[in-house]
């Protein structure tokens, strides 16, 4: 019987310790130099947005100063940020992609 109690206690402690991973939103920040078409291309290429979705996010970036591209776990968000920033630099645009914990 003592084994049953131990297993139940172990299961309870595991349940209380397991939490879903923290989530992060990937954000594109507005600047005065990056063409709107390039921002739309980035959203389609890296975030699988269709033209309508990408245009809507691009306009939010333009009018509000930033726009959310998607919500991911840290590793995925960090990778997307690095890919977008590298792609922007390679294309000589100052577009800045960041991540924010939510």
14 in any annotated domain = no
Does the residue 30 lie in any domain? yes
Helix (H, G, I), strand (E, B) or coil at 83: helix
* 54 occurs within a structural domain: yes
Q: Of 54, 48, 47, give the one whose Cα is nearest residue 79.
A: 47
> What domain range includes position 59?
20-101
pLDDT at position 4, please? 59
pLDDT in tens, 36-93: 999 999 999 999 999 999 999 999 999 999 999 999 999 999 999 999 999 999 999 9
Strand order in the sheet with 66-73: 66-73, 23-29, 96-101
Is 15 a domain residue? no
Question: What is the pLDDT, as a whole number, of residue 36?
Answer: 98
CATH number at residue 30: 3.30.1390.10
Q: What is the pLDDT of residue 3?
A: 56
Judge contact between 39 and 95, C-beta under 8 A.
Answer: yes
Number of independent structural domains in the chain: 1
69 is a domain residue: yes
């Amino acid at each position: 019987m003592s084994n049953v109690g131990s297993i139940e206690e172990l299961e309870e402690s595991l349940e209380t310790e397991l939490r879903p991973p923290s989530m992060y939103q990937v954000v594109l920040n507005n600047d005065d130099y990056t063409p709107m078409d390039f921002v739309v291309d980035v959203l389609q290429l890296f975030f699988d947005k269709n033209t309508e979705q990408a245009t809507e996010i691009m306009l939010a970036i333009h009018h509000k100063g930033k726009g959310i591209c998607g919500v991911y776990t840290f590793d995925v968000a960090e990778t997307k940020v690095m890919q977008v920033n590298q792609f922007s630099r390679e294309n000589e645009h100052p577009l800045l992609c960041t991540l924010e914990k939510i």
